[in-house]
Amino acid sequence: MNNEHKDAVQDTVTEETIEETLENTPNTGEGGSSEEAVNPEQEIPVTESADEAAGSAELEKLQAELQEQQQRTLRVQADFDNFRRRTQKEKEDLGKYASSKLITELLPVIDNFERALQASEENPEFESFSKGVSMIFRQLESVLATEGLSAMKSVGEPFNPEYHQAIMQVESDEYEEGIVVEEVQKGYMLKDKVLRPAMVKVSM
């Protein structure tokens, strides 16, 4: 083999070797290195430290305690409002029925006045006396009426144990069963409260 042929073969081998070397070399770009490039948008995992976990647990505990205290405060406020309303009602009732004890003690006096008037009507000789007693009785009735006292209407009404005290049952052709046919002693109301139930006879 001559020298020219040997040089041509050597040049061909050299070019092939350079091309293979270039193909196997990683492309790093201009001025780049062979290390893998880092994506700036890639999220870096963050691990919670022990101090942060403890702080989060303490915060949840404090929030739970705060909520419990708020609920307790609301319950106390509701109890106080109920107590205030109840006390106010008791105060109003006390003022409303403050005279009930006095009027209850005066009811027998009214009964006696009515008996005296009834007896005087049966005896004409006591006419002038009857007029005087009647005037006193009407005056007393007027005073008590201003305090809220009123007599019940019982005869002809259905028997009601809240307003009537039955002392006996009687036969009656005029009324149906369970109707008050006679009032033995008047019953009285003090405003909307039963001060004394009426003593009555009830049809059977």
Three state DSSP letters for 108-171: HHHHHHHHHHHHHHCCHHHHHHHHHHHHHHHHHHHHHHHCCEEECCCCCCECCCCCEEEEEEEC
Q: In whole angstroms, what is the distance from residue 151 CA to residue 190 CA?
A: 9
Mean pLDDT of 76-101: 77
Please state whether beta strands 164-170 and 198-203 pair in parallel, antiparallel, or not at all (unpaired).
parallel
Q: Does the pLDDT value for residue 86 go beyond 60?
A: yes
Q: What is the pLDDT of residues 118-141, one digit of tens each?
A: 777 776 677 777 777 788 888 888
Q: What is the pLDDT of residues 143-152, one digit of tens each?
A: 888 888 899 9
Q: In whole angstroms, what is the distance from residue 202 CA to residue 116 CA?
A: 26
Q: What is the pLDDT of residues 15-51, one digit of tens each?
A: 555 555 555 555 544 444 444 444 555 555 555 567 7
- pLDDT, residue 31, reads 47
Q: Which residue has the higher pLDDT, 82 or 35?
A: 82
Average pLDDT score, the chain: 76
- pLDDT, residue 34, reads 44
Identity of the residue numbered 115: R
